[in-house]
Amino acid sequence: MRPVPPPGSEAELLSRAASLAGRTLAQLAFDAGVPVPDSQRRRKGWVGALVERCLGADASSLSEPDFTRIGVELKTLPLNRRGAPAESTYVCTVPLGRSPGRWEDSAVRRKLSRVLWVTVEADPVIPLAARRLGTAFLWSPNAEEERLLRADWEELTGLIALGRLEEINAHLGACLQIRPKAANARALTRAADARGAPAETLPRAVSLRASFTAAILRSAFPPPPG
Amino acid sequence: MRPVPPPGSEAELLSRAASLAGRTLAQLAFDAGVPVPDSQRRRKGWVGALVERCLGADASSLSEPDFTRIGVELKTLPLNRRGAPAESTYVCTVPLGRSPGRWEDSAVRRKLSRVLWVTVEADPVIPLAARRLGTAFLWSPNAEEERLLRADWEELTGLIALGRLEEINAHLGACLQIRPKAANARALTRAADARGAPAETLPRAVSLRASFTAAILRSAFPPPPG
DNA sequence: AGGGATCCATGATTGGATCCCA
DNA sequence: TGGGATCCAATCATGGATCCCT
């Protein structure tokens, strides 16, 4: 278990990520001194945590970017056999029971302001250990993307502020969605109801739709003309 | 079985079609003097033939538009419960064994040059007899649509001319597709192989993808802003 | 509980197969 | 056989549920 120091610049981080491209998860796990699980069924965040270690992520505390010094968030992006995102991307938990504040100050905006996307093979026919990291790239939302994110965020937090959380499901939002996020469907957390009174509800998370990260991928790697 | 005379103008045809909107297939079948089958499982072209009769289609011979005098082709467009096309749309059979000629002279272009689309409810939960006709509209490909159709047609007929028919499947083509069209998968028809020698192969048809007719629908009936 | 995510049952899609009629 | 299409098994998409670690 070799400790990797935090990167001192975006260039250093990108360079490290580029050096990991093409390596298998087995190779990364060996370098990190950790075993490769047989499957992700009971180790769902394993790839993300592995890549964090290999790149020197140092955020141990809450609501800080993974690379604290350079203010960059790390997200692994699992790609299916056609090279498209296989899953939505977790952003953060939804703060329930207090006022959402403004978009400018939101955790969603902060987390997404600067992201290193690290693509990873996720075709189920490839054994976990044999999957390779792909290209990594730095991203910040462009004006159009930020407009979309903000519109979704304001719609969703607006509903929550009105106590209409139970009306929210994963169908809402063009690029963001709010979905359950808990150990199981019986888990409860404190929230506020429509009158502001304390209530218990299922914890929720905000995530990016796979169609949105697919669009980010396309802008980062435009398809060859054909 | 009341005979309906062929329409003398597009306006007359549209007016007749408009008068059918909202009527059930049972009502149309009664007027035409034909029984309504229990299901379409063994009567797949029944709705199309019924609407032809009700509107006075008169093309009994090959490769003529359904309304010969005014040069209009009739296509029923089955819509699912969300109002989107439930199926692809048959255009014509693929001529195998002779050279495809030019797009300008092709059967696909001719058939699609002027189409009366007649929408029909096709939600499986609605009994066949109770399904209603929806709005009908006249359509010709705009410049962009014709460009797309032509590109697909040229790609597909190009492959056939090279004797690569067996490489074609329904995945090819952005708006057109080529699919089997026969009594069953053992049916054979004459074709030419890669060397131009006679060969036997499964008969094929050209159809429009449901995503393409969905786009046509959207341009005919733009969704309300919201 | 928050951060890292994937799992998987169910619904939507669709491509190859099939059906009737003239 | 060509014209009118729909059927349906298999694949794809996804939203709600779940899992581990610290």
| pLDDT computed for residue B6 by the predictor | 96
pLDDT tier for residue A177 given thresholds of 50, 70 and 90: very high
Q: Is the pLDDT of residue A156 over 60?
A: yes
Name the burial class of residue A173, with classes exposed (0-12), middle (13-18) and buried (19+) by CB atoms within 10 angstroms of its CB.
Answer: buried
Q: Give the nearest nucleotide to B207, CA to C1'.
A: D5
Residues in Cβ contact with A8 at an 8 Å cutoff, skipping those fewer than 6 apart: A69, A70
What is the arithmetic mean of pLDDT over A214-222?
95
Spatial distance between the Cα atoms of B65 and B138, rounded to a whole number of angstroms: 14
Q: Nucleotide D22: nearest residue by CA–C1'?
A: A60
Return the CATH number of the domain spanning residue range B10-220: 3.40.600.10
| pLDDT computed for residue A192 by the predictor | 84
| pLDDT computed for residue B225 by the predictor | 63
**A37 CA – C19 C1', rounded, Å:** 52
pLDDT digits (tens, 9 = 90+) for A71-91: 999 999 999 999 999 999 999
| pLDDT computed for residue B44 by the predictor | 98
Q: Is the pLDDT of residue A226 over 60?
A: no
Q: The pTM is what?
A: 0.90
Which long-range contacts does B162-170 make (Cβ < 8 Å, 24+ apart)? B162/B194, B163/B192, B163/B193, B163/B194, B163/B195, B163/B196, B164/B194, B165/B96, B165/B191, B165/B201, B165/B204, B166/B201, B168/B204
Q: Give the nearest nucleotide to B64, CA to C1'.
A: D3
Q: Is the pLDDT of residue A47 over 70?
A: yes
Spatial distance between the Cα atoms of B46 and B43, rounded to a whole number of angstroms: 5
pLDDT tier for residue A195 given thresholds of 50, 70 and 90: confident
Q: Give the nearest nucleotide to B178, CA to C1'.
A: C15
Q: Kindly determine whether the C-beta of residue A82 is less than 7 Å away from any atom of nucleic acid strand C.
A: no
| pLDDT computed for residue B97 by the predictor | 80
Q: Kindly determine whether the C-beta of residue A45 is less than 7 Å away from any atom of nucleic acid strand D.
A: yes
Which residues numbered 120-149 in chain A sit less than 7 A from strand C, measured from CB?
120, 122, 124
Q: Kindly determine whether the C-beta of residue B136 is less than 7 Å away from any atom of nucleic acid strand D.
A: no
Q: Kindly determine whether the C-beta of residue A6 is less than 7 Å away from any atom of nucleic acid strand D.
A: no
Which residues numbered 22-51 in chain B sit less than 7 A from strand D, measured from CB?
39-41, 44-45, 47-49, 51
For chain B, the domains span 10-220
Spatial distance between the Cα atoms of B160 and B100, rounded to a whole number of angstroms: 8
pLDDT digits (tens, 9 = 90+) for B120-157: 999 999 999 999 999 999 999 999 999 999 999 999 99
Asked whether B130 and B147 are in contact (CB, 8 A), the reply is: no
Per-residue b/e over B194-219, b at no fewer than 16 CB within 10 Å? eeeeebebbbbbbbbbbebbebbbee
What average pLDDT does chain A have? 94
**B108 CA – D2 C1', rounded, Å:** 14
Q: Return the structure tokens found at B155.
A: 């790609």
pLDDT tier for residue A92 given thresholds of 50, 70 and 90: very high
Q: Give the nearest nucleotide to A214, CA to C1'.
A: D13
The residue ranking higher by pLDDT, B128 or B100, is: B128
Q: Kindly determine whether the C-beta of residue A58 is less than 7 Å away from any atom of nucleic acid strand D.
A: no
What is the arithmetic mean of pLDDT over B28-48?
97
Spatial distance between the Cα atoms of B132 and B213, rounded to a whole number of angstroms: 19
Selection from B55, B56, B75 nearest residue B118 by Cα: B75
pLDDT digits (tens, 9 = 90+) for B46-77: 999 999 999 999 987 777 999 999 999 999 99
Give phi and psi for A109, each to the nearest 5: -65, -40
Give phi and psi for B201, each to the nearest 5: -150, 170
Selection from A43, A47, A217 nearest residue A131 by Cα: A47
| pLDDT computed for residue A58 by the predictor | 94
Selection from B125, B123, B94 nearest residue B190 by Cα: B94
| pLDDT computed for residue A2 by the predictor | 58
| pLDDT computed for residue B196 by the predictor | 81
**A157 CA – D17 C1', rounded, Å:** 23
Contact positions of strand D to protein Cβ (< 7 A): 1-8, 13-22
pLDDT digits (tens, 9 = 90+) for A103-116: 999 999 999 999 99
The amino acid at B107: A
